[in-house]
Amino acid sequence: MLQDIITPHKHLLPGDAHAELRAQLSRSSRVTLLSGNLTANAKSEVSGVSARVYKNGVYGFSSMAECSDDAVRAVLKAADENARFMDRRAPAGKGPLTPIADGFRPLAADISDPDQKLYADFARAIDAYIAEKYPNLSSRAVIATSDSMEKLLITSDGQGGHTISPRSYMYVFLNSETTSGTPIELFEAYGGSGTFDLNFTDPAGLYGEIDKLYERLMQKREGVYAEAGMKTCILSGNLTGMLAHEAVGHTVEADLVLGGSVAAHSLGKVVASEKVSLVDFAHTALGVEAPLPVYLDDEGTPATDTEIIKDGVLVGFMNSRESADHFGMKATGHARAWSFSDEPLIRMRNTAVLPGTDKLEDMIASVDDGYYFISTNNGQADTTGEFMFGVCMGYEIKNGKLGRALLDTTISGVAFEMLKTVDMVSDQMTWTSSGFCGKKQPMPVGCGGSDIRCRVMVGGR
């Protein structure tokens, strides 16, 4: 656990500017088995201190890979000098940030760092199960991984805290070929918030999930290409979550709004059908703990939910303290940093399309000729909201019934146009949290959603 070397230096925070001082310890572990070959078996632990100083609308930042009194003094000095350099060379002429209340969030619970052997043994057990039960695969990969961020923060407002955010996952990739020899792949990530030893106690607990993944791969072997064109489709919660994050969430991050995203002109306007509501949850979603809970951000703002779309209308942005002042909104805890050497950026936490009242079976029954897309292996979107998602598993829907499996395809569209075509939303939620969001720095994020029926462009082959 991090020793508190920063609180004793609170008196060194500059008196004429807003400042943050942070110590951070980040850990990661990874074991990779590629068709039985152990190609990676590694652990990483990095720690250090950083300081950020805000002066008249510009920031200075400095970090050092040491957790020592000297390092704290050095980064505070360098950050202050950098802020003064920017204020002199590129004056922004802004006032101070709106203060936040005093407070300190103490550490809820410490975590253990499991031995690497636990990861290796678990991965080997899963790999052995796949190798023995499914010898006809062309290749397979099994990855056991975890990461955690422990942070100690104080700010010149008096707000701060001590937090730890661990998560751990098992990835399984299964590869085969279609009858015509085209390589196909499916993968799944299992796990979530928490350390590896608590999330993965028995390999047999995953066997059923792996069997389902294999079954889908075999359906995909006999799969057909989707027909290109605008289609009525049902997107599973996995894809809806990807849409919520990539095609809507990024466009309403206030720094990207200031950078010219489509949302700059859409606040208060209808951007989706009235069946669509979208929220970025901080730590509790729909009555249960969110996949990757955030209680305090790295500017010292206690994290609360951010309502983005309400009944089809764009109602809010995600803000840092500075952007919240700019837009006259409330900061709700989105400013987060990945490593001790990273400055806080506006990031999502747990972004989701809220469930509706429709039943998935009724939604499928309502489609005469379309597709049910259930898994995605990648997704990209523009600040215009134009998106493209890879679909690696799906089915035809013919006359209200699921048909043949699909080979890989893509869907694309413009989020604020496509969301207006949503006319059914299921009553069930699906969350994912294994990936990283990339925006200068990586960041663990959760995204989720319900099945939606919509019109979307299908890429075909």
Partner 1 sequence: MHDLKMIADKALAALKDNGADKAQCAVRFTETHEFNVDGGKFSLFRTLFDNSLSLTAVKDDKKGSVGINRLDDDSIAAAAVNCLAIADSGAADPAWVFAEKSENGFFTAGAPEADLDLLFDRTEELMRQIGEQFPLILMEQMIVTHKKRHSVFKNSLGVEYETLSGNYEISLMFSAHEGEKSSSFFGSGVITDRLDVPFMELGTIREDLENVSKQLDTQPLEGKFTGVAVFPPSSLGTFIGSALGNFASDGTLLDGTSPWKDCLGKVVADPAITISATPLDERIVCGERFTGEGFRSENYDIIKGGVLESFMLSGYVANKTGLPRAKNSSYAIVMKPGETPYADIIAGIERGILVGRFSGGEPGTSGDFSGVAKNSFLIENGKITCALSETMISGNLGDLLKNVVAISSEVVCDGATVLPYAAFGGVTVSGK
Which 206-245 residues touch partner 1, going by CB under 8 A?
228, 230
Provide the token pair at 70.
């000297």
Query: Considering only CA atoms, which of 61, 39, 34, 64 is closest in space to residue 49?
Result: 64
> Site residues for partner 1, window 83-112 (CB under 8 A)?
83, 85-86, 89-90, 92
- The dihedral region occupied by 436, where left means phi > 0, alpha psi between -120 and 50, and beta the remainder, is beta
CA 390 to chain centre: 17
- In the complex, minimum distance from the CB of residue 262 to partner 1, in angstroms, rounded to a whole number: 7
Nearer to partner 1, 44 or 357 (CB): 44
CB of 461 to partner 1, least distance (A): 7
Within 123-182, which residues bind partner 1 (CB under 8 A)? 124, 138-139, 141, 175, 182
Contact call for residues 458 and 409 (beta carbons, < 8 A): yes
In the complex, the smallest distance separating the C-beta of residue 84 from partner 1, rounded to whole angstroms, is 9
**Cα–Cα nearest to 139, from 35, 232, 43, 227:** 35
Q: Which residue in the set 41, 273, 304, 428 belongs to the binding site for partner 1 (CB under 8 A)?
A: 41
Site for partner 1 in 399-428 (CB under 8 A): 408-410, 412-414
Residue in 327, 364, 361, 198 with CA at minimum distance from that of residue 253: 327
325 phi-psi bin (left φ>0, alpha ψ -120 to 50, beta other): alpha
Q: In the complex with partner 1, which residue's Cβ is closer, 253 or 358? A: 253
| Binding to partner 1 in span 384-403, by CB under 8 A | 384, 386, 388, 390
Shortest Å, Cβ 177 to partner 1: 9
**335 closest CA partner among 351, 327, 326, 323:** 323
Binding of partner 1 by 184 (CB under 8 A): yes
Our CB check for partner 1 shows the closer of 119 and 129 to be 119
Among positions 98, 260, 289, 401, the unique one binding partner 1 when judged by CB under 8 A? 260
Q: What CA–CA distance (Å, rounded) separates 425 from 355? A: 6
Rounded CA separation 349/448 (Å): 11
Hey, which residues between 429 and 448 contact partner 1 (CB under 8 A)? 440
Closer residue to partner 1 in complex, CB, 47/366:
47
Between 283 and 321, name the residue whose CB sits nearer to partner 1. 321
Q: Which of these, 450, 57, 82, 68, lies nearest to 243 by C-alpha position?
A: 450
| Identity of the residue, 212 or 461, whose beta carbon is nearer to partner 1 in the bound complex | 461
Task: Count how many Cα atoms sit within 13 Å of the Cα of residue 162 in the half-sphere of its side chain.
Answer: 13
Task: Give the whole-angstrom CA distance, residue 189 versus residue 435.
Answer: 9
> Residue 224 corresponds to which tokens in the numbers above?
């057909």
Select from 54-62, 207-215, 273-281, 302-310 the region that touches partner 1 (CB under 8 A).
54-62
The CB-of-20 to partner 1 minimum distance in angstroms stands at 13
Selected range binding partner 1 among 236-244, 300-308, 311-319, 376-384, rule: CB under 8 A: 376-384
Smallest distance, partner 1 to C-beta of residue 293, A: 27
Using CB under 8 A, pick the residue from 8, 16, 42, 307 that binds partner 1: 42
Single residue of 115, 209, 289, 368 touching partner 1 by CB under 8 A = 115
* C-alpha–C-alpha distance, residues 256 and 11, integer Å: 35
Least separation in angstroms between CB 340 and partner 1: 9
Q: 12, 125, 134, 185: which one contacts partner 1 (CB under 8 A)?
A: 185
Residue 163 or 341: the one with the smaller Cβ distance to partner 1 is 341
- Shortest Cβ 268–partner 1 spacing (Å): 14
Interacting residue with partner 1 among 14, 48, 333, 370 (CB under 8 A) = 48
Q: How many residues bind to partner 1 according to rule CB under 8 A?
A: 81
